[in-house]
Amino acid sequence: MKSVTTKAGVESMGPAALEERRGLRHDIVRRVLIEIFRGHLPPGTRLITQKLSKQLGISATPLREALVELEAIGMVEISHNRGAVAAPFGPEQLRGIYQVRRVLESEAARGAFGRIDRQMLETLREEFVAYARRRSKSAAWLRSAMEADGRLHSTIAAACGSPRLAREIDRYALLMQTISAAIGNRHHSQEDAVREHIAIIDALLSGTREDCGRAMAKHIDSTAKRVITVMFAGRE
């Protein structure tokens, strides 16, 4: 891992090393989230770094960084007395996460109106229409549709005109991706999402700022309902 030394003598990482470390941290975040979703780390479980790093086969330092990132999105609670523990996670908490996401991404959609290259949007629309028309909804279809999903949301965030808003959205992106991967296409979740993404693109192409915000809010609300139904069936 390449590093450089600052004038103050403090070792710091170069861009490539920082990106590598970020990728490692995100991989650990994803793995811990999956353990939470599967019920292997129920609420209140103490996340002892040494024990968890051994269990997951990872080193302690990036695990600590991942736990801080998980705290920022409400999946882990960290205190001086108890250290890190798995936070309560159920329909109410997940609904709250999506409420925050709706506020952030609806505002991003409004801000991105008129800022995204039209050809890029038209190309994305054609891609989503092709997904909607495909009869076979295979695992490969699901992976490709989810990748297109991520590209659209990241494109909107990058074009929203507010770097801080984009960073806040990025905090939740990995959580959303992991949830999507966990539920797959059960109850036609991704099929519905594809249609909603087409509506968002249509608003960006020929609507108004408010149309963009409403289309995004509708998508996030619908996603929340689908996810809660799949993940917590019979538990509400």
DSSP SS3 for 77: strand
pLDDT recorded at residue 138: 86
Cβ of 64: how many Cβ atoms within 10 Å?
17
Cα gap 197→129, rounded to integer Å: 10
Kindly give the confidence (pLDDT) of every residue in the chain, 236 residues in length, as a single tens digit, with 9 standing for 90 and above.
Answer: 444 444 444 355 677 777 777 788 889 998 999 888 888 899 999 999 999 999 888 889 999 999 999 998 889 999 888 899 999 988 999 999 999 999 999 999 999 999 999 999 999 999 999 999 998 888 889 889 989 999 999 999 999 999 999 999 988 888 888 887 777 666 577 889 999 999 999 999 999 999 999 999 999 999 999 889 888 875 55
Q: By the 8 A CB rule, do 75 and 87 touch?
A: yes
**C-alpha distances in angstroms, 189 versus 105, 146, 171, 195?**
19, 11, 23, 10
pLDDT recorded at residue 81: 81
Given 3-state DSSP classes, what are the helix, strand and coil percentages for the chain, each rounded to the nearest 5?
70, 5, 25
DSSP SS3 for 13: strand
By C-alpha distance, which of 187, 219, 190, 189 is closest to 202? 219
pLDDT recorded at residue 149: 93
Read out DSSP for 165-233? HHHHHHHHHHHHHHHHHHHTTGGGHHHHHHHHHHHHHHHHHHS-HHHHHHHHHHHHHHHHHHHHHHHTT
Which pair of structure tokens corresponds to residue 88?
A: 């309560």
By C-alpha distance, which of 33, 23, 25 is closest to 182? 33
Q: By the 8 A CB rule, do 71 and 178 touch?
A: no
pLDDT recorded at residue 142: 87
Dihedral in degrees, nearest 10, Cα atoms 127, 132, 134, 136? 120
